Amino acid sequence: MERMILCCNATVQPNSLVGLKNLKDLHLLDGCKCEALDLSHNESIESIYLSSGVTLLPLSVNNYKSLTCIVIWTTYNGLDLSLFESLCSITISNKVKVLPKRPLIHNKHKLTRIGLIDFDLKSVDSKDSYTWCLLNGEDPVKCGDYTPILPSITRIDLRGVACSSNWLRSLLRMLLTLDHKVHCQLWDCIITSLNHEVKGRLPGSHKVSCAEDAFSNPVELTCAKIYTDLNNKCAFEVSELIWQNGLWETLHGLNVKILSLWNLYECGVSWDRVLPLSQSLVSLPQLETLSVTLSEYIDLQLPPSLKHFIGCFYTLSPTQLSEIVNKLTAWTQSVECRLEFFCINERDVNMPQKIPPEEYIHIKQKLESLEHVKVKRFRIYEFALSTYTWSERDSAGVDDDDVDGGLNFCAGHELLDGLGRISMRLQINCVKDPDLN
């Protein structure tokens, strides 16, 4: 047998795996119990997943050599990172005590995935912070002013982790220096917020930020996906608790050129949380492209460096559309704008009201009368419930392509028969005609 997966309420005897010499993958999931599991005889073991109901005897030298992937939710005393020779992925809970030894030099380039469970990273002097540094091949004493990261990392999983917004910002700053894409997943994390008004600025030192975190208000649990990539690209996909001060403070001052913000669920906006996001956006000196997908319109303060703005909204009234275009057309710099939105009023969640697309036409006419604005597209779509398809009902402007760019954000919206959707593209103060993707 090479693979064993148990996910039932079963008790495994400590020596029951002794005869499985060819066992490579062992998963003892929630419900399984085993005291003093002995893997020393399983010299071919490559992957282990041990839930909190399992206790593990010390790994053998052969185990350290063969293991490529480990997930340990349970207590383990004395994990020696320096003995791993082929480790590619490691996820551990704060119940795991890691010895103060860093990974081997050659293995540091193999490790691509790190996961933490229930770690508290708010203080740089804690055992949990030391463990993060060791996992990333750094001496904990030397990384008090930044969040270290292995250059080979492509995936980070933080589950139930508590950290300051400064710690997470430092992590993102390091990820933006890598030459590949990295996916950082947060489940039920607590990101403590800094007080911008008191602080006035956000230095890189965790020691300063953690002292202020003690005075921060408690925040909600954060579930989010964060992606970084080449060319200073960053994307946030956030759950329904989108407007959290601590999360948006992680963006403050980063060298991001392309930023995407995506609300995973349709939900109302908490208006008292808009200010931290706007403050962070204005603080991005290199931001050139901003893409937002939101449940409804909010008045975001945009940085002067912006060249491309893409806004997708599940609900946008004619008045709100006027506010957006008035803000954009007042700019003196060159900017391209793409807007995708449903013609619906969802203030009353139980009784959403369709807005006739004709109510937006006068805004298009006003834009066409401005000399410094070019309406590249004003396209109206209508949804037919009988065929479950969108059809183009009306179109104006220069058709730069035939692609329906709004389909990507339609999937999660409740569709009503006859619902209208509008796709717009504008050029403001543009002297040339680049394609806006």
How confident is the model over 381-427, as pLDDT tens digits?
999 888 888 888 877 655 555 555 555 666 656 678 888 999 999 99
Q: What percent of the chain has pLDDT over 70?
A: 82
Non-local CB neighbours of 255 within 8 Å, separated by 6+ positions: 173, 176, 232, 285, 286
Q: What is the model's pLDDT at position 389?
A: 86
Q: Which residue has the tokens 């463990």?
A: 131
Residue 219 · residue 163 · CB < 8 Å: no
Burial 40-56 (b: 16+ CB within 10 A, else e): ebbeebbbbbbbebbbb
* pLDDT(327) > 50: yes
pLDDT band at residue 103 using 50, 70 and 90 as cut-offs = confident
* pLDDT(244) > 70: no
Residue 86 · residue 62 · CB < 8 Å: no
253 sits in the region (left: phi over 0; alpha: psi -120 to 50; else beta) called left
Question: Which regions of 284-388 does DSSP assign to beta strands (E)?
Answer: 289-294, 308-313, 335-342, 344-345, 353-354, 373-384
* pLDDT(147) > 50: yes
Read off the pTM: 0.86
CA distance 109 to 279: 37
Task: Report pLDDT digits (tens) over 187-230.
Answer: 999 998 865 333 433 444 344 344 444 344 445 788 899 999 99
Sign of CA dihedral 407, 410, 411, 417: negative
Comparing 26-30, 130-134, 219-223, 367-371, the range with the smallest average pLDDT is 219-223
As a whole number of angstroms, the longest Cα–Cα distance in the chain is: 82
Residue 311 · residue 339 · CB < 8 Å: yes
pLDDT band at residue 108 using 50, 70 and 90 as cut-offs = low
Structure tokens given for 330 = 């007042």
